Structure formats: structure tokens, C-alpha cells
Structure 1
């Protein structure tokens, strides 16, 4: 289960709408207990997908790829890891949007996912954030939907 508050959710939705029709992305900071992740901070990031990244994944549709792909720059991830430790927090997940597509992970999402992280996906239909789901990889590297608890 992942627990967040309405303000956390609003930050994710606002970022998703502001980057439409491209995918947004960001990092989720918080605490990991045995059966629950508690979100403390949402950090919107820039979608760093570019020609070089697309080439690394042999993505032939470079022109529209930010509408279907995202990446967080490695340097930014490293900085976020360091700053989260300074705050006694952990990176507990990643969020991104699916423009004009359901809030379900793609095969590309699965192939790039890390164990133990939550992956919040927001569907943005015609510029408006809508459905939101969270996913985690199981022991067989398959996504399973994670329960989301929105507080307050």
C-alpha cells in the first residue's frame, strides 16, 4: 500500500496536465515500512527523454517519443538520492503520466522498472488528469496493482 495526501496528488496531477501532451515524470520521497509506503514529498522532474536516450532503447519514433516515454536524468536522480538521505527520507517511487492512454503500465514501463519502487501512473485525457493507479513489480517482474490510500 502507498499512502499520500490530497496535496501530493494535486502536485502529480498539476505536473501531468502542465506537460500534456508529453509524459511527465517525477520522484516520490517518503518512508517505507513493512507493509506501507508513506509519501512525504513529491518532486516533479523534467522529462529528459531525447534522441540519445531513444537510441539507447532503439526507439525509432523519436519525434513523438516524449508522448510515449519518459526518463529522469541520471544526474538529477543522483542529486535526489543525496538530498533525500539528508532529509532522512528514501526514494519510494516514481510517477509519470500517460497522455490519452489508461493509467496502466506499458511493457516499456515494466522493462525499466525497479523492484520495491511504487510506480504511480496518471491518465491524462485531452489535457485533464483523471484515473490514477499505483503499481509494483512482483517477484516475477510483473506489475501488480498497489492499493492507494489518499488521506485528508
Structure 2
């Protein structure tokens, strides 16, 4: 389960709409207690997917564009991890959008996902954020739907 506030969801939806038709991405900060992740902050980031980023992945991914892929700059991940640690928080997940596709993880999402993280995906249809779902990887590296609970 992942717990977050309505304003966190709104930040994700707004970022997704602002980057359409490209995928948006961002980092989710919070903490884990009793098998439940609690979100403290969502941080929109720039989608830095390009041919250089594609070269870091196996196979020929150079034909992929920002409308079908996302990448968060490694230096942003590292900086965010350090800042989170200073605040007694952790990176507990990543969010991204699927422009004109369902909020279901792709095979690429599965292959490059990290166990322990939540992956919030928002579907953006014709520029409007719609369905939003959270996923986590199980012990067999398969995505399982994760319950989203709104904190009031």
C-alpha cells in the first residue's frame, strides 16, 4: 500500500499534462512503516531521455522517444537521495506518465524497475490526465497492483 495526499496526486497529474505528448517523470520521497509506504513529497523532474540515455540500456532503444520512454538524470537521483537522507526520508518510488496509453507498466518499466519502489503511472489521454495506478515488483520481478490510500 502507498499512502499520499490529494495534493501529491494533483502534482503528478499536473506534471503529466504539462509534458504531454511526452512522458513525465519524477521522484517520490517518504518512508516505509509496517509494509506501508507513506509519501511526504513528490518531486517532478525533467525527462532526460535521449539517444545518450538510450545507449545505457541493453538492445537498440535509440529509436524510442520521450513519448514512450523516460529517464531521470543519475545526478538528480543521487542528489535527491542525499537530500532525502538528510531529512530522514528515502526515495520510495518513481512516477511517470503513459501518453495515450493505459496506466499499466510496460515491459521496459518491468525490466528496469527496482524492487522496493512504488511506480505510480498516470494515463494521459489527449493531454488530460486520467487513470492513475500504483505498482510494485514482487519477488519474481513481476508488477503487482498496489493500493493507493488518500491521506486527509
Same fold by TM (over 0.5)? yes
Hey, what does 1:2 align to over in structure 2? 2
Q: When the two structures are superposed, what TM-score results if normalisation uses the length of structure 1?
A: 0.96
Match of 2:114 in 1: 114
CA distance in 2, matches of 1:77, 1:55: 19
State whether residues 51 and 62 of structure 2, in contact with CA within 8 Å, keep that contact through their aligned partners in structure 1. no
Aligned residue in 2 for 1:36? 36
SS at match of 2:104: coil
Distance 1:87 1:122 in 2: 27
Per-residue CA distance 1:23-51 (angstroms, 9 max, x = gap): 00000000101221000000000001011
For residue 150 of structure 1, report the CA deviation from its aligned partner: 1.5
Structure 2 match to 1:85: 85
Aligned length: 150
Give the superposition deviation at 1:100.
0.2
Structure 2 distance, partners of 1:103, 1:10, is 16
Task: Give distance in 1, aligned partners of 2:26 and 2:108.
Answer: 17
1:54 & 1:126 partners in 2: Cα distance? 26
The runs of at least 4 consecutive aligned structure 1 residues that moved more than 4 Å come to none
Report matched runs for 1:1-150 at 5 Å.
1-57=1-57, 58-62=60-64, 65-150=65-150
RMSD over aligned CA atoms reads 0.9
Structure 2: stretches of 5+ with no match in the other structure: none
Structure 1 gaps, min length 5: none
The answer as to whether partners of 2:118 and 2:134 remain within 8 angstroms in 1 is yes
- Following the alignment from structure 2 to structure 1, what is the Cα–Cα distance between the partners of residues 91 and 76? 13
